[in-house]
């Protein structure tokens, strides 16, 4: 049977608890919005196939818990990511200030060539906004990242931000595409994939200091 996609890429959502990572993911993959906040426990993922310049890219998007107590676990997944969305909430200044910490964790634990974008979510909440678009833009520029203000609620810039990151990750990995042509079964369960993660003892980059 013909394969339904050409390449598998792993993306990851990082950011403080409550910034809307799960809602962004659900909006992108399922097209709907969930108003309640049920904190992610550890890590979860969803899949979606995108067409990027004629290449069918299957993206496996990891949704991580923002809560501090899960970070030892979630950091172990950074090294398998080709793209990371660093998410803050435009109504929560602390979540914006905390991006520095998330970016430093990425520097420490993710592959050097990982693609990153900055996402300011909940831009529908104009009256409650505490972080201006200019502040977000300035921070993104200081890291050399693309920047999107999004709303999982109103579906603003959702497809654009995920597609952009996928496109960047695809282009960054062009040279080693062969290594990404995986024939995974779409019906794999979370447990199977977590087991796969556990089984694959990825060679440590000696230049990296991360203990994860
Ligand atoms: N107004 C508005 N609310 C949002 C938006 N995105 C998420 N929310 C709300 O923000 C709350 C937290 O959203 P989640 O997606 O659960 O947050 P999270 O970042 O996954 O949180 P953790 O799993 O704890 O890390 C929920 O009540 C959502 O309904 C948005 O774009 N606009």
Query: From the CA of 189, how far away is ligand 1's center (Å)?
Result: 25
Q: Is the pLDDT of residue 101 over 90?
A: yes
Residue 85 · residue 61 · CB < 8 Å: no
The highest-confidence range among 75-84, 119-128, 200-209, by mean pLDDT, is 119-128
Nearest CA to ligand 1 atom 1: 122
Q: Label the pairing between strands 55-64 and 43-52.
A: antiparallel
Nearest CA to ligand 1 atom 30: 122
**What are the tens digits of pLDDT across the range 153-190?**
999 999 999 999 999 999 988 766 655 554 444 444 45
User: So what's the pLDDT on residue 115?
Assistant: 97
Query: From the CA of 161, how far away is ligand 1's center (Å)?
Result: 17
Q: Is the pLDDT of residue 1 over 80?
A: no
Query: From the CA of 106, how far away is ligand 1's center (Å)?
Result: 22
Residue 188 CA to residue 195 CA, distance in Å, equals 11
Nearest CA to ligand 1 atom 32: 122
Residue 11 CA to residue 115 CA, distance in Å, equals 9
Q: What is the DSSP string of 142-161?
A: HHT-EEEE-BTTTTBSHHHH
Ligand 1 atom with the shortest distance to the CA of 64: 25
ipTM of the modeled complex = 0.99
Residue 56 pairs in a beta bridge with: 51
Higher pLDDT, 161 or 64: 161
Higher pLDDT, 14 or 42: 14
Query: From the CA of 83, how far away is ligand 1's center (Å)?
Result: 21
User: So what's the pLDDT on residue 185?
Assistant: 40
Nearest CA to ligand 1 atom 6: 20
Nearest CA to ligand 1 atom 7: 20
Residues with CB under 6 A from ligand 1: 17-23, 35-37, 39-40, 65-67, 121-122, 124-125, 151-153
């Amino acid at each position: 049977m013909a394969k339904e996609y050409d390449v598998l890429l792993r993306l990851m959502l990082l950011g403080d608890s409550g910034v809307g990572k799960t809602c962004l993911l659900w909006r992108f993959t399922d097209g709907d919005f969930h108003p309640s906040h049920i904190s992610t426990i550890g890590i979860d993922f969803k899949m979606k196939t995108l067409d990027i310049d004629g290449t069918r890219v299957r993206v496996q998007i990891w949704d991580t818990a923002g809560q501090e107590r899960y970070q030892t676990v979630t950091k172990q997944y950074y090294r398998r990511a080709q793209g990371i969305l660093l998410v803050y909430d435009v109504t929560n200044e602390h979540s914006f200030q905390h991006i520095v910490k998330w970016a430093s964790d990425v520097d420490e634990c993710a592959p050097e060539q990982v693609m990153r974008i900055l996402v300011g979510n909940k831009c529908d909440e104009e009256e409650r906004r505490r972080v201006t678009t200019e502040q977000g833009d300035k921070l993104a520029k200081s890291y050399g990242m693309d920047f999107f203000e999004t709303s999982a609620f109103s579906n603003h810039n959702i497809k654009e931000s995920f597609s952009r990151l996928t496109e960047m990750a695809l282009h960054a990995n062009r040279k080693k595409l062969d290594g990404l042509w995986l024939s995974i079964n779409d019906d794999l369960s979370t447990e199977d994939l977590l087991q796969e993660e556990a089984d694959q003892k990825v060679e440590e980059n000696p230049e990296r200091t991360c203990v994860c």
